[in-house]
């Protein structure tokens, strides 16, 4: 689930007219999945991982998306370059390993030693003479745009990538208060979920499931226990407009200071505004691959990758400051056992959702009033699929 942006007009958020979901086949049909790969996953900025995984010149890593295999390498100027992991000669993969450091200052194909600069230009082949019509300049690596932002690496398979910052909702500035580039990965949760990737995002976009699925989280964030994420998700919100209780206003319960087992911070909190500290979590989303949650004393990065129409990889990275990691009282379990539990609860219920979709009479589902962000997600999907 996510928090909604601040409202300017004060009115009820919910859907007021009967709203249908996507057709059931959208969640398991193979042709539909291919289309979504091409029109959505191969066009947007996709989160790969942290810059610290390829820290120095010559460091490289690979990345797979659908059936596309990419390599990222940091060049001699410190710029991260991206390429299809494919030699221009006979198409061999250039990187046999998932990550490492190039032995020389060039990319050398392990098959026939075609040699490319770290910017992807073909420097030389292994042939003694070239045929008429063969020009070295015609065979650079297939390049893919890469963007680093505050320690996060993104790629896109699009030749005309969308502008980077507007890919985020809200815009990246909302994370100014967190020292993102200086954080260290302290824990990773890796999971394969037996569901379509859109099932995961639907789950993310509503809290109607929180009372049944997340009992502990619903205690920590009392408004979730009411099945909503925002004051005005309740049609009767005006009745409680004057009540400051987090049950109505959202945010952490009053005696808690972060998302953790006991609700308490054990490390060093970031220098956040009181408003953010009360809310306890700031969500920023870059569809279709990632959301980043700024917590009071850590940052959680959730990466999604489609492995098939009914299989999705989930990777959760937990980022901490050096001060927190060095703090004598810091107990990481207090954080990760809580949030891993929430993520695991979501993963299980996503699998349950997937399992019921193939019933012959089930044409599709219903989007309920509190699920207005799912409606927005479905509209986004429809618009993306229409762009040729």
Whose Cβ is closer to a second copy: residue 226's or residue 277's? 226
User: What sign for the dihedral angle of Cα 345, 309, 33, 36?
Assistant: positive
The rounded Cα 138 to chain-centroid distance in angstroms is: 36
Compute the least distance from the CB of residue 157 to a second copy, in Å.
7
| The token pair that represents 319 in the structure block | 């980022």
| The token pair that represents 383 in the structure block | 């618009």
Compute the least distance from the CB of residue 75 to a second copy, in Å.
20
Among 170, 161, 150, CA closest to 44: 161
User: Which helix or strand (DSSP H or E) is residue 7 part of?
Assistant: none
Compute the least distance from the CB of residue 270 to a second copy, in Å.
34
Compute the least distance from the CB of residue 251 to a second copy, in Å.
20
Compute the least distance from the CB of residue 155 to a second copy, in Å.
13
Whose Cβ is closer to a second copy: residue 70's or residue 153's? 70
**Residues 62 and 95 sit within 8 Å (Cβ to Cβ):** yes
Report phi then psi at 175, rounded to 5: -100, 15
Q: 3-class SS at 59? A: strand
* End-to-end alpha carbon distance in the chain: 30
Whose Cβ is closer to a second copy: residue 105's or residue 235's? 235
Whose Cβ is closer to a second copy: residue 157's or residue 221's? 157
Compute the least distance from the CB of residue 165 to a second copy, in Å.
26
Whose Cβ is closer to a second copy: residue 141's or residue 272's? 141
Whose Cβ is closer to a second copy: residue 21's or residue 172's? 21
Compute the least distance from the CB of residue 309 to a second copy, in Å.
13
Report phi then psi at 375, rounded to 5: -60, -45
Tokens 């797979």 correspond to what residue?
Answer: 64
CA distance 214 to 146: 37
Q: 3-class SS at 65? A: strand
61-78: string of b/e by CB count within 10 Å (b at 16+)? bbbebbebebbbbbeeee
Whose Cβ is closer to a second copy: residue 240's or residue 277's? 240
């Amino acid at each position: 689930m996510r928090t909604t942006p601040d409202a300017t007009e004060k009115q009820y958020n919910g859907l007021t007219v009967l709203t249908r979901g996507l057709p059931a086949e959208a969640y398991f049909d193979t042709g539909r999945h291919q289309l979504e790969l091409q029109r959505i996953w191969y066009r947007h900025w996709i989160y790969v991982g942290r810059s610290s995984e390829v820290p120095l010149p010559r460091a490289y890593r690979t990345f797979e998306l659908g059936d596309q295999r990419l390599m990222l390498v940091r060049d001699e100027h410190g710029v991260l370059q991206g390429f299809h992991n494919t030699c221009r000669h006979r198409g061999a993969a250039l990187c046999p390993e998932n990550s490492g450091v190039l032995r020389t200052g060039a990319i050398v194909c392990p098959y026939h030693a075609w040699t490319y600069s770290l910017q992807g230009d073909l420097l030389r082949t292994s042939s003694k003479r070239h045929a008429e019509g063969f020009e070295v300049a015609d065979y650079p690596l297939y390049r893919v745009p890469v963007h680093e932002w505050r320690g996060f690496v993104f790629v896109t398979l699009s030749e005309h990538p969308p502008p980077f910052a507007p890919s985020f909702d809200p815009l990246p500035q909302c994370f100014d208060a967190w020292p993102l580039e200086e954080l260290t990965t302290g824990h990773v949760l890796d999971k394969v979920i037996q569901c379509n990737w859109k099932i995961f995002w639907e789950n993310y976009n509503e809290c109607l499931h929180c009372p049944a699925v997340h009992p502990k989280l619903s205690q920590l964030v009392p408004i979730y226990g009411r099945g909503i994420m925002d004051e005005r998700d309740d049609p009767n919100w005006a009745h409680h407009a004057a009540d400051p209780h987090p049950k109505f206003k959202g945010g952490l319960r009053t005696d808690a200071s972060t998302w953790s087992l006991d609700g308490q911070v054990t490390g060093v909190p970031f220098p956040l505004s009181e408003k953010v500290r009360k809310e306890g979590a700031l969500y920023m989303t870059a569809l279709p691959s990632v959301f980043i949650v700024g917590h009071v004393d850590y940052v959680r990065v959730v990466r999604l990758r489609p492995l098939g129409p009914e299989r999705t990889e989930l990777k959760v990275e937990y980022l901490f400051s050096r001060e927190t990691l060095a703090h004598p009282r810091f107990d990481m379990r207090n954080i990760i056992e809580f949030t891993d539990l929430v993520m695991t609860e979501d993963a299980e219920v996503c699998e349950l959702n997937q399992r019921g979709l193939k019933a012959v009479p089930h044409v599709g589902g219903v989007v309920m009033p509190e699920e207005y962000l799912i409606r927005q997600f479905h509209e986004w999907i429809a618009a993306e699929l229409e762009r040729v």
